[in-house]
Chains A and B, each alone.
Chain A
Amino acid sequence: MEQFTQEFLNLDVMAKVAPYLFQGLLQTLLLCSFLIPIGLVGGLLVMLLTTSPYRVLRWPAIVAVDFFRAFPPLVLLVFVYAGLPFIGLRVPALLAVAVAFLINSASYYGEIYRAGMVSVPKGQREAARSTGLSATQALLYVTLPQAVRNVLPDLLSNTVELIKLTTLASVISVPELLHSANLARSLTYNSSPLILAAIIYLILLLPVVRLIARLEHKL
């Protein structure tokens, strides 16, 4: 027990590395601040393509979505970061993260929006159009809001997944929370920094996970 506390819950070590982990946390929040919006907007565009009435738009989009849902995000990230420099495109780590996450999360968000759109009865759109709204207006003011409301728990839970995925950036040395914790672990020869990082993730995400569980049971 003594040994366990010493290795995992060492308060001295935690206090020493806390400022450093805080820097990592800021980097994680910075990542989230642009990865979530580009994923949400990218997903919307993907949904418009996969639900398009034109087959030439719809089918390639569906194939691309399935392809990237089968593509592990880490493989995508390593491919963008380590592969592209070989043809002379040196991508900064943050840009590689943005590109890989955009491709990955737009596919996932796109599928969620699509499920939401399918759940909105056809009559809603037809009624909106017959009152004189343009196609864009019908989408923005009538069908999309209902679709989003219907799949809100799924959108939230995918956002939690996206935040958890930001830890992958540590593999290409972006100094986010898990990366700084792991570096602190190797410098202190003690695992408490990793536990501290885990606690920070729990504080950030546990309330959202609880909220999702409640929303899901209410529906």
Chain B
Amino acid sequence: MTATDAMSNWDRFVFTFFNADIAMKYGWEILQGASVTILAGLAVVMTGIVVGFGLAALRAIGWKSLNFLIIVFVDIFRSLPPLAIILVLFFGFPAIGIVLPSLIVLWLSLGAVLAAFAEEIFWAGITSVPKGQWLAARSTGLTFAQTLRYVILPQAVRLGIPPLTNRAISITKNLALGSAIGVNEILGRANSALSMSANATPLTMGALLYVLVFIPLVIASRMLERNYRWGEH
């Protein structure tokens, strides 16, 4: 205590949050967490968008009972907090004989949440295409599937890209929740380094790493929004 008392406030701040020795010691460890975060993030985004897109395309066919199931899935996963889904999968499923590794639980939970939001976004895009386009395409002799594939979906996807990017970013940031079930991602590793070193520098590094991973995406989403903005005079 006396040693730190002798330091000025500024020194103490730097020693605590930007400690070079600690950064050297745990840097590699936390950096490895970044690779877990990035790979899991890619898996979540791919799964979410592909499944969401598939569900929206299925919904366009118009089978009543299938649409009902899709809407139930979408509404539930849009309403539930991701952490609640993660805890049920991680703690509940082993009791009925399904044991999933924590990383798989994280991927499945966030993938399902993103799929639900992506379906809604693609579906909003599909319904925003004027009915005349369907009729015109069908009357030129295109089949239902061809109309969907070549006329409707390209427009729906274009409309959906800006909101989808924002949603994908905000859901992928939830990868940090993995630390609550012991996934070795950035925050999990930073947390254990924090308790081992009794210094906050690992946390600073973890936070900066997260920002480093996500800031290019945030900037890209800003540019997308500018390019795709419609009704702009």
Shortest CB–CB separation between residue B107 and chain A, in angstroms? 16
Q: B222 contacts A66, CB within 8 Å?
A: yes
- CB closest chain-A residue, reference B233: A121
Q: B84 contacts A201, CB within 8 Å?
A: yes
- CB closest chain-B residue, reference A210: B75
* List of B residues within 8 angstroms of A160 by Cβ: 78-79
> Given A72-B176, A87-B12, A198-B88: A167 and B207 within 8 A (CB)?
no
What is the 8 Å Cβ interface bit string for chain A, positions 64-107, against chain B (1 contact, 0 not)?
Answer: 00110111111110110011001100000000000000000000
Q: A202 contacts B92, CB within 8 Å?
A: no
Of A15-23, A39-47, A135-143, A189-197, the segment with at least 4 beta carbons within 8 Å of chain B is A189-197
> Given A82-B194, A86-B200, A191-B91: A72 and B82 within 8 A (CB)?
no
Q: A195 contacts B88, CB within 8 Å?
A: yes
**Bound-complex Cα distance A65 to B77 (A):** 27
Check: B13 CB closer than 8 A to any chain A CB.
yes
**Chain A interface, number of residues (Cβ within 8 angstroms):** 51
Which of B13, B79, B83, B191 gathers the greatest number of chain A CB atoms within 10 Å?
A: B79
CB-contact partner of B120 in A181, A195, A197, A213, under 8 A: A213
Check: B179 CB closer than 8 A to any chain A CB.
yes
Check: B112 CB closer than 8 A to any chain A CB.
no
Check: B46 CB closer than 8 A to any chain A CB.
no
Check: B124 CB closer than 8 A to any chain A CB.
yes
* List of B residues within 8 angstroms of A213 by Cβ: 75, 120
Shortest CB–CB separation between residue B61 and chain A, in angstroms? 19
Which of A8, A72, A79, A166 gathers the greatest number of chain B CB atoms within 10 Å?
A: A72
What is the 8 Å Cβ interface bit string for chain B, positions 77-102, against chain A (1 contact, 0 not)?
Answer: 01111111101100110011100000
Q: Is the interface of A mostly helix, strand, loop or mixed?
A: helix
Check: A152 CB closer than 8 A to any chain B CB.
no
**Bound-complex Cα distance A123 to B103 (A):** 53
Check: A149 CB closer than 8 A to any chain B CB.
no
**Bound-complex Cα distance A10 to B98 (A):** 18
B positions within 8 Å CB-CB of A: 9, 12-13, 16-17, 75-76, 78-85, 87-88, 91-92, 95-97, 120, 124, 127, 169-170, 173-177, 179-180, 186-187, 191, 194, 199-200, 203-204, 206-207, 210-211, 213-215, 217-219, 222, 231, 233
Please give 5 more A-B residue pairs, beta carbons under 8 A apart, in addition to A191-B92, A206-B75. Answer: A71-B207, A72-B187, A74-B174, A86-B16, A208-B79
Jot down 25 A-B pairs with beta carbons below 8 A, ordered by A. A3-B95, A3-B96, A66-B215, A66-B219, A70-B218, A72-B176, A74-B177, A75-B186, A86-B16, A86-B200, A87-B9, A164-B81, A171-B83, A171-B180, A185-B87, A194-B84, A195-B92, A198-B88, A202-B76, A205-B79, A206-B76, A206-B79, A209-B78, A209-B79, A213-B75
